[in-house]
Amino acid sequence: MSDSWKITLPCTRAEAEAIDPEGPAFAAMTAPPVLLTRELTEDDVEDWVLDAYFQDKPGRTEIALLRALVPSAGGVKVKPERIAEQDWVTLSQAGLEPVQAGRFYVHTSANRGDPPAGARAFHIEAGLAFGTGHHETTTGCLLTLEAMRARGMQVRNLIDVGTGTGLLAFAAMHLWPRARATASDIDPISIDVTRANAAANGVRLGAGPGRLALAVAPGMAHADIERRAPYDLVLANIIAAPLIELAPVIAAATAPGGTVVLAGLLERQAAAVAQAYRRHGFRIAGRVTLGDWPTLRMVRRPIR
């Protein structure tokens, strides 16, 4: 393993929560950095830190992109730190504490912790795909899914659009073990990560009930996804703009009475996202808000 590099910049909580791990800033890079934020002083919204881990020494362009993410650090001198002969992804996970969301317990190999009795533990590594459970958007989706199951909702056919690591699809399959499940992502790396995570977590792949089918697709534009519709549960933890753009496509693929769980949006974006789905026959059925990150549960009205 060759040397890797780390840059640390101070930031505020607001800046940390606004960082989009899948945003365009680093999309053109062959090996984009792993970005992690953490609170230095408990309940101090001004005392946060951004850590960025690079496989190669970052240059002026990469440093400028990082600075743009955290404007409050504008006057801070940036000095890349060489990390000799270590696995940069594993190192970046060392500070990630396990996350518990209802019955779900999500951990990395670097910090397994002690799962509580009765919890469904998922081993999800951070690094090449978004959706480790360590962000409020993913946690909000997990809590929403558990609440749906507790109310007795039945799911026979589900899809996780923009699956990232596969975690939400895995959680839904745990709650509804006989459902047919699909996970899609526009990024082939995310599908490779999901495949590896499925093996690590005992999730069976395939097309039948209780199995997960995988597809590389922009949104839901894939023959297999279209063939498996309609879905009675659609999960989409992405960001606001594509959620709005996908509203008519997701509506067309959702069964009457079916549910969509929408996340990855900020509080100020919730009204616009909800309105886009109302135009296509959905109503708000519930929401979970963690910090500035709401998770919307919307139900498609029956066709009369």
132 marked as binding residue = no
Show Cβ contacts of residue 300 under 8 Å, excluding neighbours closer than 6 positions.
Answer: 251, 254, 255, 256, 257, 258, 259, 260, 280, 281, 282
Contact present, 4 and 86 (Cβ < 8 Å) = yes
Task: Tokens 């002690």: give the residue.
Answer: 114
157 marked as binding residue = no
37 marked as binding residue = no
Give the whole-angstrom CA distance, residue 128 versus residue 190: 7
Among 143, 86, 150, 176, residue whose Cα is nearest residue 296: 143
Contact present, 165 and 137 (Cβ < 8 Å) = no
3 marked as binding residue = no
Task: Tokens 């992109």: give the residue.
Answer: 65
Contact present, 96 and 82 (Cβ < 8 Å) = no
Residue numbers in the known binding site for S-adenosyl-L-methionine are 138, 162, 185, 237
Residue numbers in the known binding site are 138, 162, 185, 237
